[in-house]
Structure 1
Amino acid sequence: MFYDTTAHELLSYRPATPVPADLSDFWRETLDETARFPLDVTVERVTETPLRGAEVYDVGFAGFGGHPIRAWYLLPREPRRDAATIIEFIGYGGGRGLHHELLFWSAAGYPHLIMDTRGQGSSWRVGDTPDPGSSGGPQVPGFLTDGLTAREDYYYRRLFTDAVRAVDAARELPSADPARLVTTGTSQGGALSLVAASLHPGVAAAMPNVPFLCDIRASCRAAVTGPYPELVKWCRTHRSLADRAFATLAYFDVACLVPAAQCPAHFGVALMDETCPPQGVYGCFNVYGGPKEITVYAWNGHESGEAHHLENQHRWLTREAGIG
């Protein structure tokens, strides 16, 4: 099992998923299709809030297909000089939550955009964004298998595009510096932070923590908990469609996308993670195209570094990336 593999050994691991020959064309066409819809950014100040250290804005923008996406924007009353704007994406099943739930970055003086996740937000943190594009086809409860047999209909085509559009939206927000946009997130959010860094040239740095959707075929064989078993169950039921499903997933495997990334990245990995196995994270880290570092939590599972990791991210952002 990979849990017996050392971090040093994992540094030589390479994902086995072949990169589709038309991967770049697929994503260029997808993003061009969505670019036909006006971004339509709306920013409404929230006046009823217990927060005193930040102004809170309810943000909207048009994501994939022009579908409305919600977000929170927390703007510090005393921002850091030349502060980066942090764009955060949420883990599987969660939404943007309540506006006072994620306060670290704004408390540290950084403008902070928190994107809601279409169709999610009913498992552990509330969300406010529906998914009008759901295929309605047979799927295991969750999102990983929604539209799995056709790349054009697959759930993550919509969500990945939303993440790229969130970067465009951040550029239009009050006090945001378009040259200092940093993506971050944990698990699914970590995957989205890497997707945005790979598909949007305006991302200055990425901070993915235990990212999901990395080296998907190997990860779903190794994972014990979380979303990957949904995929295993789907393939177990739809025996004749498994190869077709993995052909679709190759277009959404983050390890196939990140060689195109150029900005610096700071990864977090947990060597006892049974939800997003470390070999998948390392597979993605090892092929990442830009400058990169990784913080290893040898004895942790999917909780990873938690508050310790926030401190490590902040240190990296200010001292290493030099854009904080």
Structure 2
Amino acid sequence: MIRPAMMRQKITLIVHCAILFLGSLHFLQAQLHITTDLPEGIYEVGETVIWNVELEPGTQVDSVTYKLKEGGLSVTSEGLLDFENNKASVQYTFTKPGAILLDLRWKSKDQWHKTVGGAIADPEKIALAVEKPTDFDTFWAGKIEQLRSVPKQPQVQRILLEEEKEIEYYHIKMKNIDRSHIRGQLAKPLKVEKLPALLIVQWAGVYPLQPEWVIDKAKKGWLVLNINPHDLPIDREQDFYEMKSNGPLKNYPAINNENRDKSYFLRMYLSCYRAAQYLTERPDWDGETLVVMGASQGGLQALVTAGLHPKVTASMALVPAGFDTMGPAVGRKDGWPHWYTNTENKNEQKVHETSRYFDVANFVPDITCPVLVGIGLLDETCPPEGIYAGINQLSNRKEIVLLPRSAHQARNGSQDAYHERVDTHWLPHLRNRTFLQD
């Protein structure tokens, strides 16, 4: 299922212009308007996408350059836009299933600006860059057995929150492989014997966990566990996390990325499996509902968990990372953490081979539960083409919410359609066990 529904009408997308300054993006009040004939951005092979570009009155620019990038990577054409009365257009005809990114850049008042447009053709026909390794399932079965040989030994500490009278809140710590630990927070409503379980997994970065991330869901009737992707305390001061981020965890995706048995993501993926298993063994679990959700790196973990753990009953992933690790080999950009190019001072071939054991797409065929995925059509961090290639491996119930105005981060409501589906449909129905009746 794809949302929003395909509508043949015009729409104006107002995109705030961004300054490329000191490696970061800053948004201006000045605006650039992009008008397209298909607001949802979905086309068929053989059709032509037309972007109409209009400068805001009073915007002074030297020139506007454009690049068209198939798969967000391979440049098929580039040049200068020819404006007449502040208007110009760019066209592209699809010759195969896939995504196209329009990259616009210009200089104004000695500052560089950038914005992008996107479109995709026959997304349900996009194929994997490479097949999964023949020993993929054997490898992960072995790692789960290794994990099972390590006792969980959960340490659960009640934390009293004076302002929360109807919620129990805990810090939790469990053992993981290689003498590491899983650390997180758990919340549940008081005086309820059996509850549906919700595992929340986190986006990239190094930071503390916030109690409201579990308390809000517990107030809605969930047994909620939220885990840190790293083996770190969850409630230190910000300086602690900045020190870790700038020190031992700087570019953590590259840690041991030449070795599938030592990759940083091995511990992370197994943390998710163990967290899910822990929830199913609690006496206050209802024995039926186990949902896992996250965004970006959290979306990666949500789908991996569903692929590894058979008791997961639904998985929800917004702009999921980790797809299409070998995408650049076929001319399209891979998703964060960009294994393909994260090879400085490394053996590229070994990194590429290792990446295949952690590519989310290779876990997808083992998912047996319903899946909700939000995909940003303008996302350059986790590009849409690779995500579609992976999600197309799903044979069970799935809903794809294509977000035509969304880059990786939400801006101006660009990801509201996904959150509406999560908050008003998926979570309430899953909690009430009415989901499959809908």
Question: One fold, TM greater than 0.5?
Answer: yes
SS at match of 1:177: strand
Equivalent residue for 1:302, pick from 405, 408, 419:
408
Alignment check: 8 A CA contact 1:190 1:210 kept: yes
**Matched residue, 1:164:** 273
- Alpha-carbon distance change, 49 to 176 in structure 1, aligned in 2, over 3 angstroms: farther
**Matched residue, 1:12:** 125
User: By how many angstroms is 1:96 displaced?
Assistant: 5.3
Alignment check: 8 A CA contact 2:323 2:390 kept: yes
**Matched residue, 2:228:** 116
User: By how many angstroms is 1:225 displaced?
Assistant: 9.7
**Matched residue, 1:245:** 351
Alignment check: 8 A CA contact 1:90 1:96 kept: no
Alignment check: 8 A CA contact 2:136 2:357 kept: yes
State which drifts further: 3-12 or 43-52. 3-12
Alignment check: 8 A CA contact 1:184 1:208 kept: yes
Q: Any unmatched runs of 5+ in structure 1?
A: 130-135
**Matched residue, 2:135:** 22
User: By how many angstroms is 1:65 displaced?
Assistant: 3.2
- For the residues of structure 2 that align with 1:224 and 1:267, how far apart are their CA atoms? 17
- Asked if 1:276 corresponds to 2:382, the answer is yes
Which whole-Å deviations, capped at 9, do the CAs of 1:274-300 have from their partners, x for residues lacking one? 111111221221112432111111101
- Alpha-carbon distance change, 126 to 198 in structure 1, aligned in 2, over 3 angstroms: farther
Structure 2 residue identity aligned to 1:271 = L
State which drifts further: 286-295 or 253-262. 286-295
User: By how many angstroms is 1:78 displaced?
Assistant: 7.8
Which whole-Å deviations, capped at 9, do the CAs of 1:62-117 have from their partners, x for residues lacking one? 223352211111112487x9753110100111455132345442232222110111
- For the residues of structure 2 that align with 1:58 and 1:169, how far apart are their CA atoms? 14
Equivalent residue for 2:188, pick from 66, 75, 88:
75
- For the residues of structure 1 that align with 2:175 and 2:379, how far apart are their CA atoms? 35
- Asked if 1:90 corresponds to 2:199, the answer is no
Which whole-Å deviations, capped at 9, do the CAs of 1:165-203 have from their partners, x for residues lacking one? 011111234622232111110011111111111111111
Structure 2 residue identity aligned to 1:74 = A
**Matched residue, 1:133:** none
Q: Any unmatched runs of 5+ in structure 2?
A: 1-68, 70-98, 102-117, 242-246
Structure 1 residue identity aligned to 2:141 = R
1 or 2, which has the higher helix percentage?
A: 1
SS at match of 1:287: coil
- For the residues of structure 1 that align with 2:154 and 2:189, how far apart are their CA atoms? 20
**Matched residue, 1:32:** 145
Structure 2 residue identity aligned to 1:65 = D
- Alpha-carbon distance change, 3 to 322 in structure 1, aligned in 2, over 3 angstroms: farther
SS at match of 1:179: strand
- For the residues of structure 2 that align with 1:42 and 1:226, how far apart are their CA atoms? 33
What stretches of structure 1 move > 4 A for 4+ residues in a row?
Answer: 119-122, 125-129, 219-226, 304-308
- Alpha-carbon distance change, 121 to 9 in structure 1, aligned in 2, over 3 angstroms: farther
**Matched residue, 1:313:** 422
- Alpha-carbon distance change, 269 to 121 in structure 1, aligned in 2, over 3 angstroms: farther
Structure with more relative contact order (C-alpha pairs < 8 Å, separation 6 or more): 1
Q: Percent identity?
A: 24
SS at match of 1:144: helix
- Alpha-carbon distance change, 47 to 276 in structure 1, aligned in 2, over 3 angstroms: same
**Matched residue, 1:54:** 167
1 or 2, which has the higher strand percentage?
A: 2
User: By how many angstroms is 1:245 displaced?
Assistant: 0.8
User: By how many angstroms is 1:17 displaced?
Assistant: 2.1
Equivalent residue for 1:258, pick from 364, 371, 388:
364
- For the residues of structure 2 that align with 1:168 and 1:147, how far apart are their CA atoms? 26
Q: What is the Cα-based RMSD across aligned positions, in Å?
A: 3.3
- For the residues of structure 1 that align with 2:180 and 2:239, how far apart are their CA atoms? 15
Alignment check: 8 A CA contact 1:94 1:127 kept: no
- Alpha-carbon distance change, 13 to 126 in structure 1, aligned in 2, over 3 angstroms: farther
- For the residues of structure 2 that align with 1:219 and 1:49, how far apart are their CA atoms? 52
SS at match of 2:261: helix
Which whole-Å deviations, capped at 9, do the CAs of 1:141-184 have from their partners, x for residues lacking one? 31221101111111111111111001111123462223211111
Q: TM-score, normalised by structure 1?
A: 0.83
User: By how many angstroms is 1:224 displaced?
Assistant: 9.9
Q: TM-score, normalised by structure 2?
A: 0.63
State which drifts further: 245-254 or 142-151. 142-151
Structure 2 residue identity aligned to 1:316 = W
Equivalent residue for 1:178, pick from 287, 292, 314:
287
- For the residues of structure 1 that align with 2:203 and 2:224, how far apart are their CA atoms? 17
- Alpha-carbon distance change, 308 to 128 in structure 1, aligned in 2, over 3 angstroms: farther
Q: Larger C-alpha radius of gyration, 1 or 2?
A: 2
- Alpha-carbon distance change, 185 to 78 in structure 1, aligned in 2, over 3 angstroms: farther
Alignment check: 8 A CA contact 1:148 1:248 kept: yes
Alignment check: 8 A CA contact 2:183 2:228 kept: yes
